[in-house]
Structure 1
Amino acid sequence: MTNKILLTSFNTWLSHQKSNSSDDLLAKISRIQSLPDSLTYLRKLPVDFQEAPNLAIAQINQIQPDIIICCGMAESRQKLTVESCACCDTDILKTKVNLEPLVADLCTTEISHEAGKYVCEALYYAVLKHIRNAQLPAKCIFVHVPILTLENSDKIVGDFLSIVNRLTINHSQLTTKRAGTGAPPLPQIN
Protein backbone atom coordinates (compact mmCIF):
# COMPACT_ATOMS: atom_id res chain seq x y z
CA MET A 1 0.00 0.00 0.00
CA THR A 2 1.32 3.43 -0.92
CA ASN A 3 1.34 6.00 1.86
CA LYS A 4 0.49 9.62 1.18
CA ILE A 5 3.17 11.74 2.81
CA LEU A 6 3.11 15.51 3.26
CA LEU A 7 6.52 17.16 3.72
CA THR A 8 6.70 20.83 4.72
CA SER A 9 9.56 23.31 4.94
CA PHE A 10 9.99 26.99 5.73
CA ASN A 11 11.32 30.00 3.89
CA THR A 12 14.08 32.20 5.32
CA TRP A 13 13.28 34.92 7.83
CA LEU A 14 16.56 36.72 8.54
CA SER A 15 18.58 38.79 6.07
CA HIS A 16 21.79 36.74 6.49
CA GLN A 17 20.06 33.48 5.48
CA LYS A 18 20.68 32.49 1.88
CA SER A 19 18.32 29.52 2.26
CA ASN A 20 16.45 27.55 4.89
CA SER A 21 18.04 24.17 5.65
CA SER A 22 14.61 22.53 5.95
CA ASP A 23 13.88 23.53 2.37
CA ASP A 24 17.40 22.59 1.26
CA LEU A 25 16.74 19.09 2.63
CA LEU A 26 13.38 18.77 0.87
CA ALA A 27 14.98 19.96 -2.38
CA LYS A 28 17.48 17.10 -2.10
CA ILE A 29 14.73 14.59 -1.25
CA SER A 30 12.61 15.76 -4.21
CA ARG A 31 15.43 14.83 -6.62
CA ILE A 32 15.46 11.18 -5.50
CA GLN A 33 13.58 9.12 -8.07
CA SER A 34 13.32 5.84 -6.16
CA LEU A 35 11.03 6.83 -3.31
CA PRO A 36 8.00 4.52 -3.44
CA ASP A 37 5.45 6.55 -1.54
CA SER A 38 3.32 9.43 -2.75
CA LEU A 39 5.11 12.58 -1.60
CA THR A 40 3.51 16.01 -1.57
CA TYR A 41 5.75 18.98 -0.88
CA LEU A 42 4.56 22.16 0.77
CA ARG A 43 7.80 24.08 0.55
CA LYS A 44 8.88 27.50 1.76
CA LEU A 45 6.03 28.14 4.17
CA PRO A 46 6.11 31.76 5.32
CA VAL A 47 7.64 32.31 8.73
CA ASP A 48 4.34 33.55 10.09
CA PHE A 49 2.54 32.26 13.20
CA GLN A 50 -0.90 32.17 11.51
CA GLU A 51 -0.24 31.80 7.80
CA ALA A 52 2.09 28.77 8.05
CA PRO A 53 -0.36 26.64 10.09
CA ASN A 54 -3.31 27.76 7.93
CA LEU A 55 -1.54 26.73 4.71
CA ALA A 56 -0.42 23.39 6.17
CA ILE A 57 -3.87 22.52 7.55
CA ALA A 58 -5.50 23.44 4.23
CA GLN A 59 -3.09 21.05 2.47
CA ILE A 60 -3.77 18.31 5.05
CA ASN A 61 -7.51 18.70 4.51
CA GLN A 62 -7.05 18.58 0.75
CA ILE A 63 -4.78 15.54 0.39
CA GLN A 64 -5.57 13.61 3.61
CA PRO A 65 -2.00 12.34 4.13
CA ASP A 66 -1.16 9.24 6.14
CA ILE A 67 2.08 10.80 7.35
CA ILE A 68 3.01 14.44 7.91
CA ILE A 69 6.63 15.46 8.38
CA CYS A 70 7.02 19.15 9.11
CA CYS A 71 10.57 20.46 8.86
CA GLY A 72 12.20 23.60 10.12
CA MET A 73 15.69 25.03 10.36
CA ALA A 74 17.73 24.91 13.55
CA GLU A 75 20.85 26.94 12.85
CA SER A 76 22.45 26.19 16.20
CA ARG A 77 21.94 22.41 16.15
CA GLN A 78 24.37 19.89 14.71
CA LYS A 79 21.97 16.96 14.27
CA LEU A 80 18.51 16.32 12.94
CA THR A 81 16.18 16.58 15.91
CA VAL A 82 12.78 14.96 15.98
CA GLU A 83 10.50 16.91 18.30
CA SER A 84 8.47 14.92 20.85
CA CYS A 85 5.93 17.64 21.56
CA ALA A 86 4.70 21.14 20.88
CA CYS A 87 3.46 23.69 23.41
CA CYS A 88 1.07 26.60 23.29
CA ASP A 89 0.91 28.47 26.59
CA THR A 90 0.41 25.65 29.12
CA ASP A 91 -1.04 23.13 26.65
CA ILE A 92 1.34 20.40 25.48
CA LEU A 93 0.57 18.07 22.59
CA LYS A 94 2.75 15.02 21.97
CA THR A 95 3.22 13.16 18.74
CA LYS A 96 1.53 9.75 18.51
CA VAL A 97 4.72 8.36 16.97
CA ASN A 98 6.99 6.35 19.25
CA LEU A 99 10.22 8.22 18.61
CA GLU A 100 12.72 5.85 20.26
CA PRO A 101 12.58 3.15 17.55
CA LEU A 102 12.20 5.84 14.89
CA VAL A 103 15.65 7.29 15.61
CA ALA A 104 17.36 4.16 16.98
CA ASP A 105 20.87 3.74 15.53
CA LEU A 106 20.68 6.83 13.30
CA CYS A 107 24.06 8.57 13.39
CA THR A 108 22.97 12.20 13.04
CA THR A 109 19.53 12.22 14.64
CA GLU A 110 18.25 12.62 18.18
CA ILE A 111 15.00 13.32 19.99
CA SER A 112 14.31 16.82 21.27
CA HIS A 113 11.73 17.92 23.82
CA GLU A 114 12.00 21.62 22.99
CA ALA A 115 10.53 22.67 19.64
CA GLY A 116 11.80 26.21 19.90
CA LYS A 117 8.96 28.52 20.98
CA TYR A 118 8.80 30.08 17.52
CA VAL A 119 6.93 29.48 14.26
CA CYS A 120 8.20 25.89 14.03
CA GLU A 121 6.53 25.04 17.33
CA ALA A 122 3.39 27.00 16.39
CA LEU A 123 3.08 24.97 13.19
CA TYR A 124 3.69 21.64 14.96
CA TYR A 125 1.18 22.47 17.69
CA ALA A 126 -1.48 23.56 15.19
CA VAL A 127 -1.06 20.41 13.08
CA LEU A 128 -1.13 18.09 16.11
CA LYS A 129 -4.22 19.89 17.41
CA HIS A 130 -5.93 19.63 14.01
CA ILE A 131 -5.18 15.89 13.83
CA ARG A 132 -6.60 15.42 17.32
CA ASN A 133 -9.70 17.58 16.88
CA ALA A 134 -10.55 16.19 13.44
CA GLN A 135 -9.73 12.64 14.66
CA LEU A 136 -7.48 12.04 11.68
CA PRO A 137 -5.46 8.81 11.53
CA ALA A 138 -2.39 10.67 10.22
CA LYS A 139 0.94 10.41 12.01
CA CYS A 140 2.86 13.66 12.41
CA ILE A 141 6.38 14.53 13.45
CA PHE A 142 8.43 17.71 13.33
CA VAL A 143 12.09 17.52 12.32
CA HIS A 144 14.52 20.36 12.92
CA VAL A 145 17.28 20.42 10.31
CA PRO A 146 20.76 21.81 10.99
CA ILE A 147 22.59 23.86 8.37
CA LEU A 148 23.58 21.46 5.59
CA THR A 149 27.28 21.35 4.76
CA LEU A 150 29.49 19.24 2.52
CA GLU A 151 30.49 17.27 5.61
CA ASN A 152 27.02 16.48 6.99
CA SER A 153 24.67 16.61 4.01
CA ASP A 154 24.82 12.94 2.96
CA LYS A 155 24.39 11.76 6.56
CA ILE A 156 21.45 14.11 7.19
CA VAL A 157 19.74 13.05 3.95
CA GLY A 158 20.38 9.37 4.81
CA ASP A 159 18.92 9.71 8.29
CA PHE A 160 15.90 11.63 6.97
CA LEU A 161 15.21 8.93 4.37
CA SER A 162 15.49 6.30 7.13
CA ILE A 163 12.91 8.21 9.16
CA VAL A 164 10.55 8.37 6.17
CA ASN A 165 11.02 4.64 5.49
CA ARG A 166 10.53 3.70 9.13
CA LEU A 167 7.35 5.75 9.34
CA THR A 168 5.91 4.04 6.27
CA ILE A 169 7.05 0.46 6.88
CA ASN A 170 6.78 0.10 10.64
CA HIS A 171 3.78 2.29 11.34
CA SER A 172 2.19 -0.10 13.85
CA GLN A 173 5.38 -0.40 15.90
CA LEU A 174 6.01 3.34 15.86
CA THR A 175 2.59 4.39 17.09
CA THR A 176 2.18 4.79 20.82
CA LYS A 177 -0.56 2.47 22.08
CA ARG A 178 -2.55 2.53 25.27
CA ALA A 179 -0.76 0.43 27.85
CA GLY A 180 -1.90 -3.19 27.97
CA THR A 181 -4.37 -2.96 25.10
CA GLY A 182 -4.39 -3.52 21.41
CA ALA A 183 -6.61 -0.47 21.04
CA PRO A 184 -5.63 2.36 18.75
CA PRO A 185 -3.55 5.10 20.29
CA LEU A 186 -5.09 7.98 22.15
CA PRO A 187 -3.87 11.50 21.56
CA GLN A 188 -1.28 12.32 24.20
CA ILE A 189 -2.19 15.56 25.88
CA ASN A 190 -0.65 16.84 29.08
Structure 2
Amino acid sequence: MVRTILVTAFDAFGGEDINPSLEIARRLPHNIGDTHIITSEIPTEFALAAKVARQNIDKHMPDAVVCLGQAGGRHAITPERVAINLIDAPIADNAGALLVDAPINPAGPTAYFATLPVKSMVQAIRAHNIPAELSTTAGTFVCNFLMYSVLDYLASSDLDILAGFIHVPYIPEQHQQPAVPLDDLVAGITAALGALIADEPDEPTGDSLLGNLH
Protein backbone atom coordinates (compact mmCIF):
# COMPACT_ATOMS: atom_id res chain seq x y z
CA MET A 1 0.00 0.00 0.00
CA VAL A 2 1.42 3.37 -1.05
CA ARG A 3 0.61 5.79 1.77
CA THR A 4 3.41 8.32 1.32
CA ILE A 5 5.13 9.48 -1.87
CA LEU A 6 8.24 11.64 -1.92
CA VAL A 7 8.36 13.77 -5.07
CA THR A 8 11.67 15.47 -5.82
CA ALA A 9 12.22 18.24 -8.36
CA PHE A 10 15.28 20.14 -9.58
CA ASP A 11 16.06 23.83 -9.42
CA ALA A 12 16.66 25.77 -12.65
CA PHE A 13 19.85 25.03 -14.57
CA GLY A 14 21.61 25.69 -17.86
CA GLY A 15 20.90 29.43 -17.83
CA GLU A 16 17.15 29.00 -17.35
CA ASP A 17 15.20 30.89 -14.69
CA ILE A 18 12.54 28.19 -14.43
CA ASN A 19 12.59 24.45 -14.04
CA PRO A 20 9.14 23.06 -14.86
CA SER A 21 9.71 20.08 -12.58
CA LEU A 22 9.93 22.39 -9.56
CA GLU A 23 6.90 24.40 -10.68
CA ILE A 24 4.94 21.13 -10.92
CA ALA A 25 6.05 19.97 -7.48
CA ARG A 26 4.96 23.27 -5.94
CA ARG A 27 1.46 22.80 -7.36
CA LEU A 28 0.88 19.14 -6.55
CA PRO A 29 -1.90 18.30 -4.08
CA HIS A 30 -0.80 17.53 -0.54
CA ASN A 31 -2.90 14.37 -0.59
CA ILE A 32 -4.32 12.05 -3.23
CA GLY A 33 -7.02 10.10 -1.45
CA ASP A 34 -5.37 8.69 1.67
CA THR A 35 -1.86 9.06 0.26
CA HIS A 36 0.31 11.93 1.48
CA ILE A 37 2.50 13.73 -1.08
CA ILE A 38 5.79 15.20 0.18
CA THR A 39 7.88 17.39 -2.13
CA SER A 40 11.55 18.31 -2.00
CA GLU A 41 13.75 20.61 -4.09
CA ILE A 42 16.98 19.02 -5.31
CA PRO A 43 20.02 21.06 -6.40
CA THR A 44 21.19 20.41 -9.96
CA GLU A 45 24.62 19.49 -8.67
CA PHE A 46 26.35 16.13 -8.80
CA ALA A 47 27.91 16.70 -5.38
CA LEU A 48 24.61 17.38 -3.62
CA ALA A 49 21.70 15.86 -5.55
CA ALA A 50 22.00 12.30 -4.26
CA LYS A 51 22.87 13.48 -0.74
CA VAL A 52 19.75 15.65 -0.45
CA ALA A 53 17.58 12.85 -1.86
CA ARG A 54 18.99 10.32 0.60
CA GLN A 55 18.39 12.71 3.49
CA ASN A 56 14.76 13.09 2.48
CA ILE A 57 14.29 9.34 2.10
CA ASP A 58 15.77 8.71 5.54
CA LYS A 59 13.67 11.47 7.06
CA HIS A 60 10.30 10.53 5.59
CA MET A 61 10.71 6.80 4.80
CA PRO A 62 8.14 7.03 1.98
CA ASP A 63 6.58 4.09 0.22
CA ALA A 64 7.67 5.50 -3.14
CA VAL A 65 10.06 8.11 -4.54
CA VAL A 66 9.17 9.88 -7.79
CA CYS A 67 11.91 12.17 -9.11
CA LEU A 68 10.97 14.86 -11.63
CA GLY A 69 13.25 16.65 -14.06
CA GLN A 70 13.27 18.76 -17.21
CA ALA A 71 13.99 17.24 -20.62
CA GLY A 72 14.11 20.10 -23.08
CA GLY A 73 13.16 19.08 -26.59
CA ARG A 74 10.65 16.44 -25.57
CA HIS A 75 6.99 17.05 -26.33
CA ALA A 76 5.51 14.67 -23.74
CA ILE A 77 5.73 13.58 -20.12
CA THR A 78 8.13 10.63 -20.16
CA PRO A 79 8.45 8.17 -17.27
CA GLU A 80 11.91 6.64 -17.44
CA ARG A 81 12.39 2.91 -17.54
CA VAL A 82 16.11 2.65 -16.80
CA ALA A 83 19.04 4.55 -15.28
CA ILE A 84 22.61 3.80 -16.35
CA ASN A 85 25.83 3.94 -14.35
CA LEU A 86 27.36 6.80 -16.33
CA ILE A 87 27.93 10.52 -16.07
CA ASP A 88 28.69 12.24 -19.37
CA ALA A 89 27.56 15.81 -18.79
CA PRO A 90 26.86 17.96 -21.85
CA ILE A 91 27.12 21.10 -19.70
CA ALA A 92 28.42 22.00 -16.26
CA ASP A 93 26.09 21.54 -13.31
CA ASN A 94 25.03 24.48 -11.13
CA ALA A 95 28.23 24.20 -9.09
CA GLY A 96 30.38 24.39 -12.23
CA ALA A 97 31.28 20.69 -12.25
CA LEU A 98 31.67 19.18 -15.71
CA LEU A 99 32.01 15.42 -15.38
CA VAL A 100 32.65 13.30 -18.47
CA ASP A 101 32.80 9.52 -18.98
CA ALA A 102 32.63 8.80 -15.25
CA PRO A 103 30.74 6.04 -13.44
CA ILE A 104 28.18 7.05 -10.84
CA ASN A 105 29.18 4.15 -8.60
CA PRO A 106 32.35 2.32 -9.72
CA ALA A 107 31.24 -0.72 -7.71
CA GLY A 108 27.61 -0.57 -8.80
CA PRO A 109 25.71 -2.44 -11.50
CA THR A 110 25.59 -1.19 -15.06
CA ALA A 111 21.97 -0.08 -14.74
CA TYR A 112 18.78 -0.20 -12.70
CA PHE A 113 15.20 -0.52 -13.85
CA ALA A 114 12.66 1.85 -12.31
CA THR A 115 10.42 0.06 -9.84
CA LEU A 116 7.43 2.31 -10.54
CA PRO A 117 4.48 1.10 -12.66
CA VAL A 118 5.73 3.17 -15.58
CA LYS A 119 3.40 1.75 -18.25
CA SER A 120 0.36 2.33 -16.06
CA MET A 121 1.59 5.87 -15.43
CA VAL A 122 1.80 6.57 -19.16
CA GLN A 123 -1.72 5.23 -19.68
CA ALA A 124 -3.07 7.33 -16.80
CA ILE A 125 -1.52 10.51 -18.20
CA ARG A 126 -2.86 9.81 -21.68
CA ALA A 127 -6.32 9.21 -20.23
CA HIS A 128 -6.33 12.93 -19.39
CA ASN A 129 -5.50 13.80 -23.03
CA ILE A 130 -1.99 14.84 -22.04
CA PRO A 131 0.92 13.58 -24.15
CA ALA A 132 2.96 10.84 -22.49
CA GLU A 133 5.50 8.29 -23.67
CA LEU A 134 7.63 5.63 -22.05
CA SER A 135 11.33 6.54 -22.26
CA THR A 136 14.31 4.22 -22.22
CA THR A 137 16.94 6.91 -21.78
CA ALA A 138 17.21 9.27 -18.83
CA GLY A 139 20.28 10.89 -20.37
CA THR A 140 23.70 11.14 -18.74
CA PHE A 141 23.33 14.39 -16.78
CA VAL A 142 22.07 15.01 -13.23
CA CYS A 143 18.61 13.52 -13.90
CA ASN A 144 20.01 10.08 -14.74
CA PHE A 145 22.54 10.51 -11.93
CA LEU A 146 19.77 11.07 -9.40
CA MET A 147 17.61 8.21 -10.67
CA TYR A 148 20.52 5.78 -10.55
CA SER A 149 21.72 7.05 -7.17
CA VAL A 150 18.29 6.71 -5.54
CA LEU A 151 17.75 3.19 -6.88
CA ASP A 152 21.29 2.22 -5.89
CA TYR A 153 20.80 3.59 -2.38
CA LEU A 154 17.51 1.73 -1.93
CA ALA A 155 19.01 -1.52 -3.22
CA SER A 156 22.16 -1.28 -1.09
CA SER A 157 20.13 -0.34 1.99
CA ASP A 158 17.61 -3.14 1.39
CA LEU A 159 14.75 -0.63 1.59
CA ASP A 160 11.43 -1.78 0.14
CA ILE A 161 10.63 1.56 -1.49
CA LEU A 162 9.47 2.01 -5.08
CA ALA A 163 11.41 4.58 -7.09
CA GLY A 164 11.90 6.08 -10.51
CA PHE A 165 12.08 9.23 -12.58
CA ILE A 166 9.74 11.22 -14.81
CA HIS A 167 10.97 13.78 -17.32
CA VAL A 168 8.78 16.71 -18.30
CA PRO A 169 9.08 19.10 -21.27
CA TYR A 170 9.49 22.86 -21.27
CA ILE A 171 6.57 25.08 -20.31
CA PRO A 172 5.59 28.09 -22.49
CA GLU A 173 7.01 30.55 -19.96
CA GLN A 174 10.50 29.35 -20.87
CA HIS A 175 10.04 30.50 -24.48
CA GLN A 176 11.37 27.18 -25.76
CA GLN A 177 9.77 24.61 -28.05
CA PRO A 178 8.18 22.15 -27.84
CA ALA A 179 6.33 23.21 -24.69
CA VAL A 180 3.35 21.95 -22.69
CA PRO A 181 1.23 24.19 -20.41
CA LEU A 182 2.09 23.92 -16.73
CA ASP A 183 -1.50 23.10 -15.78
CA ASP A 184 -1.39 20.10 -18.10
CA LEU A 185 1.91 18.93 -16.63
CA VAL A 186 0.55 19.20 -13.09
CA ALA A 187 -2.54 17.24 -14.09
CA GLY A 188 -0.39 14.65 -15.85
CA ILE A 189 1.97 14.10 -12.92
CA THR A 190 -0.99 13.95 -10.53
CA ALA A 191 -2.51 11.26 -12.76
CA ALA A 192 0.80 9.37 -12.76
CA LEU A 193 0.91 9.46 -8.97
CA GLY A 194 -2.67 8.22 -8.91
CA ALA A 195 -1.65 5.27 -11.08
CA LEU A 196 1.20 4.52 -8.70
CA ILE A 197 -1.19 4.49 -5.76
CA ALA A 198 -3.70 2.29 -7.55
CA ASP A 199 -1.40 -0.12 -9.34
CA GLU A 200 1.28 -2.66 -8.60
CA PRO A 201 4.69 -2.14 -10.22
CA ASP A 202 4.99 -3.62 -13.70
CA GLU A 203 8.77 -3.52 -13.72
CA PRO A 204 11.19 -5.80 -11.83
CA THR A 205 11.41 -5.04 -8.13
CA GLY A 206 13.97 -6.00 -5.51
CA ASP A 207 16.85 -7.20 -7.72
CA SER A 208 15.95 -4.59 -10.30
CA LEU A 209 19.40 -4.16 -11.79
CA LEU A 210 19.98 -4.98 -15.40
CA GLY A 211 23.33 -6.57 -14.67
CA ASN A 212 26.39 -6.31 -16.83
CA LEU A 213 25.40 -5.06 -20.26
CA HIS A 214 28.63 -5.16 -22.23
Asked whether the two chains share a fold, i.e. TM above 0.5, the reply is yes
Matching residue's letter, 2:160: P
Q: Any idea what the Cα deviations from partners look like across 1:129-169, whole Å, max 9, x if unmatched?
A: 01111111111120111112386333322221111011112
- CA distance in 2 between partners of 1:117 and 1:96 (Å): 19
Matching residue's letter, 1:162: A
Residue 133 of structure 1 aligns with which residue?
156
Q: Could you tell me how far 1:175 is from its partner in structure 2? A: 4.1
Cα root mean square deviation, aligned: 2.0
Residue 176 of structure 1 aligns with which residue?
203
C-alpha contact (below 8 Å) 1:82/1:142 kept by paired residues: yes
Q: 1:33 to 1:96 in 2, by over 3 A?
A: closer
Unaligned runs of 5+ in 1: 178-184
Structure 1 length-normalised TM = 0.84
Q: 1:63 to 1:104 in 2, by over 3 A?
A: same
- CA distance in 1 between partners of 2:171 and 2:110 (Å): 32
Residue 98 of structure 2 aligns with which residue?
none
Matching residue's letter, 2:59: Q
Matching residue's letter, 2:194: N
Residue 182 of structure 1 aligns with which residue?
none
- Corresponding residue to 2:138 among 108, 115, 119: 115
Alignment of 1:26-105 (within 5 A): 26-29=25-28, 32=29, 35-36=32-33, 37-43=35-41, 45-89=42-86, 91-104=110-123
- CA distance in 1 between partners of 2:75 and 2:136 (Å): 16
Q: Could you tell me how far 1:41 is from its partner in structure 2? A: 1.2
Residue 11 of structure 1 aligns with which residue?
11
Structure 2 length-normalised TM = 0.75
C-alpha contact (below 8 Å) 1:96/1:187 kept by paired residues: no
C-alpha contact (below 8 Å) 2:20/2:182 kept by paired residues: no
Residue 188 of structure 2 aligns with which residue?
159
Q: Hey, which bits of structure 1, 4+ residues long, moved more than 4 A?
A: none
- CA distance in 2 between partners of 1:34 and 1:46 (Å): 25
- CA distance in 2 between partners of 1:12 and 1:33 (Å): 23
